[in-house]
Amino acid sequence: MTIKILNALLAIIGGIGGAMILFWLLNKLAESLKGRWEDRVKPWVFAGPAILAIGVYLIYPAIVTLQYSFANEDATKYVGFNNYKDLLTDATFLSVLFNNLLWIIIVPALTVALGLGVAVLADRLRPKGEKLSKTVIFLPMAISMVGAATIWRSIYEYQPKGSPQTGLLNAIMGVFGKDPVYWYQIETWHLNSLLLMVILIWTQVGYSMVLLSSAIKGVPEDTIEAGRIDGAGERRIFFSIVVPQIWPTVVTVFITVLIGVMKVFDVVYVTTNGAFNTDVVGRRFFYEMFTNQNSGYAAAIVVLLMIAITPVLVYQVRQFRAEEANR
């Protein structure tokens, strides 16, 4: 144990110290160059290590992943589009895609709507009440999905009929004289998936609330005042004046949650591990890569995920360009 902690300390000191010495040495080297060359080399000294880290850990592996997606399970032979064909004709994988689609349709929209609701309503409380209620809603953001799934056991847990129920939901069922339900097994109307979504929404609403609340507070008062003079009611003011002005933030929150949902893994892995028709792309990817050891399928799944994310990526870059132009 002590050895481990010493190792970690060494890593911190060595990592930071090493990086500092590296930067210092490279900088000295660049300074020893003549005139124009110094100015040319220096930016690469400063930005180089970061670019290297991104290249080695994201860009290069992404290219290799693309390559693997056209190869067999241990990446020893090219198989053309077979991995994609296999996946897209496999009924279980198609239901995985459908489940993910449900997550995509439901979670971002509900997260934005709930966050907006809390932001608007909490603003009307007295400052103390506002701060307290916002902290409570925001709190789960700090909790890992594993932690959140553990926490929600106190609500969803199931004990066989006859024994005392230890999950709140089944206790409520008991009050109404109904039999206890093993919630994670109920596939009707995808109820089990919906219950898992609740856990994710529980952790995300705080994020949506904070961003939207700060956007609402940034809406200029005179625009609202003008609406009031024209005789608009509170509801009309909110939907016709406030919402259009906070729309960019609504889109931001929506897309951020959307990306998170597209690659959702932890919450499904910890609760059902994909059983009872709750599987999603992120969990299936992990299964193919780690349990099934089929790097071809795993890579093909990631490439499909990447294709689905590309529109968001394009939007992100465009948005950034537009903002830079306004700087």
The correct pick among 75, 97, 232, 243 for binding other proteins (CB under 8 A) is: 75
The correct pick among 51, 88, 105, 109 for binding other proteins (CB under 8 A) is: 51
DSSP, residue by residue, 145-204: HHHHHHHHHHHH----TTSPP-SHHHHHHHHTTPPP--GGG--GGGHHHHHHHHHHHHHH
For residue 136, which amino acid is it?
V
| Between 61 and 244, CB nearer to other proteins | 61
| Between 122 and 188, CB nearer to other proteins | 122
Distance CA 247, CA 43 (A): 38
Q: Which residue has the tokens 């089944």?
A: 170
CB of residue 54 vs other proteins: minimum separation in angstroms?
Answer: 5
Q: How far apart are the first and last CA of the chain?
A: 51
Residues 9-38 close enough to bind other proteins by CB under 8 A? 11-12, 15-16, 19-20, 23-24, 27, 31
Binding string, residues 209-248; x marks residues near other proteins by CB under 8 A? -xx-xxx-xx--x--x---x-----x-------------x
Distance CA 247, CA 211 (A): 12
The correct pick among 79, 106, 232, 255 for binding other proteins (CB under 8 A) is: 255
Residues 263-282 close enough to bind other proteins by CB under 8 A? 263, 265-266, 269-270, 282
Distance CA 82, CA 219 (A): 53
| Between 91 and 202, CB nearer to other proteins | 202
Applying CB under 8 A, which part among 81-89, 92-100, 184-192, 206-214 lies near other proteins?
206-214
The correct pick among 53, 88, 109, 113 for binding other proteins (CB under 8 A) is: 53
Chain center to CA of 162: 40
Nearest alpha carbon to residue 323 among 84, 75, 315: 315
3-class DSSP state of 78: strand
Q: Is 138 in the site for other proteins (CB under 8 A)?
A: yes
